[in-house]
Amino acid sequence: MKRKIAILCAAIMFATFSYGQNLDKLVKAFQENPNAEHQKITKEMLALFTNQADSSSQMTKKIPEFLSRIEKMDVFTLDNYKDKNAGSILQEMDNYKDGNGFETLIGVNEGDDRVKIVAHKDGQAVSEVAVLVRDKSNIVLVRFLGNMT
């Protein structure tokens, strides 16, 4: 009986750990793909953008307030892909499931176009938002990290 309980506990722990790791797996799949591009946008780079807008200009009014809350942005792209050169990116996108604090906010599938927006919540705080986009020839992952609440 103890053995069955131990096996059940181990299975639950494994399922819990692996269930919500899919976004990290997707990032890793992009990083390991030689055809993918990765751009990192730091808080300092975002500050340059917001500081260039004069306080009296129309541009300042158009800059969303949440930009100041973003610590880092990662943009991963795979352009003009064929299934064979997408590596595990397609598999990880298709296998993504909510869990471990991640929740899908919106998902749209229209023809060959797929868009999914997911958020990671720590209690009431949103610490990460990711936008996943896929069409016939391009795959994009944009990941925002920071305190966005």
3-state SS, one letter per residue, for 23-38: HHHHHHHHHHCCCCEE
* pLDDT number for residue 3: 47
Span 8-27, pLDDT tens digits:
333 333 443 444 456 889 99
* pLDDT number for residue 16: 39
Please, are residues 67 and 46 in contact by the beta-carbon 8 Å criterion?
yes
pTM listed for this prediction: 0.76
What is the average per-residue pLDDT within 50-57? 59
* pLDDT number for residue 32: 94
What is the average per-residue pLDDT within 41-68? 69
Helix, strand or coil, per DSSP, at residue 98? coil
For β-strands 138-146 and 37-42, DSSP reports them as: unpaired
What's the whole-number average pLDDT of the chain?
80
